């Protein structure tokens, strides 16, 4: 029997935002080498889950636990979670005028690793990551997300994850607002992040990014909780029939979220 602790385990997580109950009992386990796609409508609570995982102070956990590498991190601050190997790529990355991408990435890497990385070593890692992700060198002298296109912002998010090397990367709708070329580029970057020592939680509305990033598991989020889970076939079924198919046919009112093996017809 394998008694090794899961990489990330979310247990009966309930979260309030401004006094409103958003997450209503989320259970999810992510292990090394797994890609978990979390799909759901707008307003279902997907982004709330991502912010709660990272410890956003406006998202109050009223019940449940977040266990990361065997440690209860439910009460830790965002920077403490980041230093332990948990990272979030934002749906809407903010601009930071006056701060260059190069300086931002170096400060982030130093903070997460807890030490000053020598310039030569940092530069070598950065150039290798940029080459792998197809990020142009002129990115480094630009201010963070200032005047960036949607695709450039998302590419910078993936570059940051590549440098931080988190154990679990949470991607909050990384595919939103991307054209097909940008989607392929970002998807390639996500695939480059994958390793046997890393897990990914990929939050999305649509199946299209899953044409390029193959999930290990697919979960459907509805009204603040996971209402169905399955393999990659589930995302294709959702694309064909929409979310009403899940909420009306798979999960009767009050029923526990099932593990489903969905096959397309």
Entry pTM: 0.88
Rounded Cα gap, residues 189 and 72, in angstroms: 30
Contact in structure between 80 and 73 (CB atoms under 8 Å): yes
C-alpha separations of 36 from 201, 202, 217, 233, 235 in Å: 5, 6, 5, 13, 11
Domain residue ranges of the chain, discontinuous segments joined by +: 8-250
Tokens of 118: 């020598």
Phi and psi at 61, nearest 5°, equal -85, 115
- Residue 55's contacts (CB-CB under 8 Å, 6 or more residues apart) are 73, 76, 77, 78, 80, 81
What angle, 0 to 180 degrees and rounded to 10, lies between the N-to-C axes of helices 119-133 and 180-193?
130
Tokens representing 29 are 């386990």
Whether 42 and 29 have beta carbons less than 8 Å apart is answered as no
Q: What pLDDT was estimated at residue 3?
A: 53
In the prediction, which pLDDT does 30 show? 97
- Angle (nearest 5°) at CA 160 between 159 and 161: 90
**How confident is the prediction along the chain (265 residues), in pLDDT tens digits per residue?**
445 678 999 999 999 999 999 999 999 999 999 999 999 888 889 999 999 999 999 999 999 999 999 999 999 999 999 999 999 998 889 999 999 999 999 999 999 999 999 999 999 999 999 998 888 899 999 999 999 988 899 889 999 999 999 999 999 988 887 888 888 888 988 898 887 789 999 999 888 899 999 999 999 998 899 988 999 999 988 888 887 777 676 555 444 444 444 433 3
**Is domain 8-250 annotated with CATH 3.40.190.10?**
no
Indicate if the alpha-carbon torsion angle 170, 172, 173, 174 is positive or negative.
negative
Tokens 């997450």, residue located? 23
């Amino acid at each position: 029997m394998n008694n090794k602790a899961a990489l990330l385990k979310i247990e009966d997580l309930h979260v309030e935002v401004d006094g409103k109950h958003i997450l209503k009992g989320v259970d999810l386990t992510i292990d090394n080498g797994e890609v978990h796609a979390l799909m759901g409508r707008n307003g279902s609570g997907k982004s709330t889950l991502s912010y709660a995982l990272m410890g956003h102070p406006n998202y109050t956990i009223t019940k449940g636990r977040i266990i990361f590498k065997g440690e209860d991190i439910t009460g830790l601050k965002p920077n403490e979670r980041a230093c332990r190997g948990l990272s979030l790529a934002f749906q809407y990355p903010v601009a930071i005028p006056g701060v260059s991408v190069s300086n931002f990435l170096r400060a982030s890497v130093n903070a997460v690793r807890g030490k000053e990385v020598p310039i030569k070593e940092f530069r070598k890692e950065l150039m290798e990551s940029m080459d792998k992700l197809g990020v142009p060198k002129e990115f480094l002298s630009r201010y963070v997300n200032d005047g960036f296109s949607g695709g450039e912002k998302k590419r910078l998010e993936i570059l940051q994850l590549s440098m931080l090397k988190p154990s679990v990367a949470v991607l909050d709708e990384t595919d939103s607002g991307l054209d097909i070329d940008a989607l392929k580029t970002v998807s390639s970057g996500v695939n480059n992040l994958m390793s046997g020592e890393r897990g990914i939680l990929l939050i999305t509305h649509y199946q299209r990014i899953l044409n390029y990033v193959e999930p290990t598991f697919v979960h459907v989020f509805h009204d603040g909780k996971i209402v169905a889970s399955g393999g990659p076939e589930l995302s294709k079924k959702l694309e064909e029939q929409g979310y009403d198919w899940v909420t009306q046919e798979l999960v009767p009112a009050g029923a526990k979220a099932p593990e489903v093996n969905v096959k397309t017809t």
